[in-house]
Copies of this chain bind each other. A is one copy, B any other.
Amino acid sequence: MAMRELLHAVRAGRITEADALERLRHLPFEDLGFAKVDHHRSLRQGFAEVVFGRGKTPQQVVKIVRAMLARRDSRHNILVTRADRRIHAAVRRLSRAAKFHPLSGAIVIERGRAVRGKGTILVVSAGTSDIPVAEEALVSARALGNRAESIYDVGVAGLHRLLGHRDQLTAARVIICVAGMEGALPSVVAGLVSAPVIAVPTSIGYGASFGGVAALLAMLNSCASNVSVVNIDNGFGAACVASCINRI
């Protein structure tokens, strides 16, 4: 490592202090101790290696995934989000283990089954049309090393369906709550539990839903005190936040 050698040269008297000082100033940053930062970063996010598939060609994704697979001793799962069948076909030629989740477009290559999260992440969603985003959250949460379960189709206009899942709600360590339209589900769910609730607005709806803005605003204004919010349709992001909470 560059800095160690520099210090060694100083001690050995091979370079002056002034020269060493000057070199230190101009070393690439990571050589100055912040490699640690980078290391933290890979530690933090590294339970899965992630490729954002949208806008990439199958060839581009294949190239990235091949590089990931080349690190053969890695136990990191590989997750491709927002892919399609063509990307999956291409990735599958690289690895038989590549599993496609067609609703969300997620591809997972499982390389390790270690569970790092301490509890269960529960993904709750309102309408059937919210399921793609919910599935992205669910698949991502698992790929990131968590136990994760889901409850779908429990809208606030039919409370009894939601209330029938009380035990599952109470048992979760973190809840991801996915809803479009009026975005009311996180407030209702958060009122029933003491776990943190990550709310994900979806762009489902039409007219005055404004591509998810209605749901987003509702969630930001939630009257429940254990709700925080991520971007519209950001199922993967919610899984990251939930996973990060589930590991502490």
Contact = CB atoms under 8 A, between A and B. Distances in A.
Interface of A: 3-4, 7-8, 10-11, 13, 17, 20-21, 24-26, 28-30, 32-38, 40-41, 43-45, 55, 119, 126-127, 129, 155-161, 163-164, 166-167, 170, 173-174, 180-184, 187-188, 190-196, 198, 201, 203, 205-234, 237-238, 240-241, 244-245, 248
A235 to B, nearest CB: 11
A159 B7 contact: no
Given A7-B10, A159-B192, A195-B248, 8 more contacts: A4-B21, A11-B13, A40-B170, A126-B223, A156-B184, A159-B191, A225-B241, A228-B229
Given A11-B10, A32-B33, A214-B217, A196 B241 contact: yes
Nearest to A214: B217
A206 B222 CA distance: 11
A206 to B, nearest CB: 6
A55 to B, nearest CB: 7
The A contact surface, by secondary structure, is helix
Contacts of A37: 159-160, 166, 191-192
Contact of A232 (B34, B40, B207, B227): B207
A158 B38 contact: yes
A245 B11 contact: no
B21 A183 contact: no
Contacts of A20: 7
A159 to B, nearest CB: 6
A55 B119 CA distance: 35
A231 B221 contact: yes
A156 B33 contact: no
A33 B25 contact: yes
Given A192-B159, A223-B126, A229 B230 contact: yes
